[in-house]
């Protein structure tokens, strides 16, 4: 662990040392664009839609109602909902070129596309009672609350706006955990989800690898104590300084671009020759997009315990207060009753094959429609990879079209 920490810190120091002279190098415009700007810049229609959760969080949904070459129509379009991963935002679905981005590909396929943003990220930081991100109580949540409250509010809003009584759901990384957790505890929610496409699924991280996972797993008690001393608020807040370093060090013409990408590969999996390095600074400029420290601790807890369960409040008394029992409830994935498609790869350090196998084995046999093991996809390749469009997205679009062609509408 100590060797991994020294190596990571050394690479960060090198990046910073070489970053300053590179800051004035040419940049691509996507580095500073919002999701709305990214969509409009690519020539697509875009809408911002707000959804309010039962516990008062105001969430932003970004909608692409139709494709670049289509026109508005009263004819119903298949409704799809895309949910980003940890520390990310709706931008993930539209950061690549139109022929490489799932959000754009689905719009061009004739779908009504909704892209969610969970509480705490840059687009979803408002609350009905005025609670703001500078108040500690705002950040008391993990993916438990995202599953319980955020998904319901966003999916219901997408159904309301589209007029559909269901959505096809695509989740990536934490976006898969949210849906699996929701379906495990609320079977009735399955009526709203026609198909569930899980990209790099993570419901267990018992076998996940990489320096950050290792540090979190081995040093969890020390990390929890350190965080309690400093305050349990936002995790890795983005700032002018972090944006400066990212754009300077990771820009396409920066001499430290290879170091930047190699550091990323150390975290998510090996270089699979899918990453467009000229867009690396754009990817990293949109990450981290914000989450709570409690959420990151929750992932660390599951990594250390090897169990897929709700957040552990750290004492029998607190767990009893929140759950009515002294230990966190486990998620029971045998309750999931939605046609599910799993897409994963041995090259992914975070969605490990053993953990995916645990998920596939735990889900009802009738729920798993496809369990697809892909060759040479690291964790971020599922959203940024150059082969994702042909090896994953085209198949998802075809599955949805096949289903919708058999739907009888009023």
* Active-site amino acid positions: 173, 348, 379
Which residue, among 162, 178, 198, has the nearest Cα to 64 in the 3D structure? 162
Contact 305, 217 (CB under 8 A): no
Alpha-carbon distances, residue 356 vs 9, 187, 310, 343, 344 (angstroms): 31, 21, 19, 9, 8
> Around 304, how many Cα atoms within 13 Å sit in the side-chain half-sphere?
19
| Helix segments in 309-366, DSSP class H | 316-323, 353-362
* Number of CB atoms found within 10 A of residue 47's CB: 13
* Number of CB atoms found within 10 A of residue 338's CB: 21
Which residue, among 160, 162, 141, has the nearest Cα to 152 in the 3D structure? 160
Render the burial of 219-237: b for 16+ CB within 10 Å, e for the rest: bbeebbeebeeeebbbbee
Contact 195, 169 (CB under 8 A): yes
Render the burial of 133-149: b for 16+ CB within 10 Å, e for the rest: beeeebbebbbbbbbbb
Which DSSP symbol is given to 168? E
Contact 153, 54 (CB under 8 A): yes
Backbone angles phi, psi at 215, to 5 degrees: -65, -45
Which DSSP symbol is given to 106? H
- Centroid of chain to Cα 137: 23
Backbone angles phi, psi at 195, to 5 degrees: -140, 145
Which residue, among 140, 145, 195, 187, has the nearest Cα to 167 in the 3D structure? 195
Rounded to whole angstroms, the Cα distance separating 192 from 336 reads 13
């Amino acid at each position: 662990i100590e060797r991994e920490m020294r190596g990571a810190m050394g690479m960060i120091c090198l990046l910073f040392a070489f970053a300053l002279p590179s800051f004035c190098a040419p940049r691509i415009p996507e580095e500073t664009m919002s999701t709305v700007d990214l969509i409009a810049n690519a020539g697509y229609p875009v809408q911002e839609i707000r959804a309010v959760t039962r516990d008062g969080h105001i969430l932003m949904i970004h909608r692409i109602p139709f494709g670049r070459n289509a026109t508005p129509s009263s004819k119903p379009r298949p409704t799809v909902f895309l949910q980003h991963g940890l520390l990310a935002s709706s931008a993930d679905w539209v950061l690549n070129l139109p022929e490489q981005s799932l959000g754009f590909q689905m719009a061009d396929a004739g779908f009504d596309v909704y892209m969610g943003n969970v509480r705490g990220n840059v687009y979803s930081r408002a609350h009905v009672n005025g609670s703001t991100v500078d108040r500690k109580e705002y950040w008391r949540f993990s993916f438990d609350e995202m599953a319980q409250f955020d998904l319901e509010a966003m999916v219901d809003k997408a159904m309301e706006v589209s007029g559909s009584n269901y959505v096809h759901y695509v989740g990536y990384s934490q976006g898969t955990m949210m849906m699996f957790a929701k379906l495990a505890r609320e079977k009735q929610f399955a009526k709203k989800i026609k198909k569930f496409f899980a990209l790099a699924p993570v419901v267990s991280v018992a076998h996940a690898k990489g320096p950050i996972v290792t540090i979190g797993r081995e040093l969890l008690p020390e990390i929890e104590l350190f965080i309690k001393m400093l305050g349990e608020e936002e995790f890795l807040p983005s700032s002018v300084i972090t944006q400066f370093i990212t754009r300077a060090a990771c820009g396409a013409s920066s001499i430290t671009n290879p170091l930047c990408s190699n550091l990323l590969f150390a975290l998510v999996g090996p270089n699979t020759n899918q990453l467009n390095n000229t867009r690396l600074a754009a990817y990293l400029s949109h990450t981290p997009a914000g989450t709570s420290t409690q959420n990151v601790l929750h992932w660390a807890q599951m990594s250390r315990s090897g169990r897929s369960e709700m957040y552990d409040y750290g004492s029998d008394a607190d767990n009893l207060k929140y759950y009515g029992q002294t230990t966190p409830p486990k998620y029971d994935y045998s309750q999931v009753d939605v046609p599910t498609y799993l897409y994963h790869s041995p090259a992914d350090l975070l969605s490990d094959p053993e953990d995916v196998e645990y998920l596939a084995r735990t889900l009802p046999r009738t729920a798993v429609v496809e369990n697809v093991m892909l060759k040479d996809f690291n964790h971020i390749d599922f959203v940024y990879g150059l082969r994702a469009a042909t090896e994953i997205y085209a198949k998802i679009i075809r599955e949805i079209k096949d289903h919708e062609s058999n739907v009888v509408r009023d």
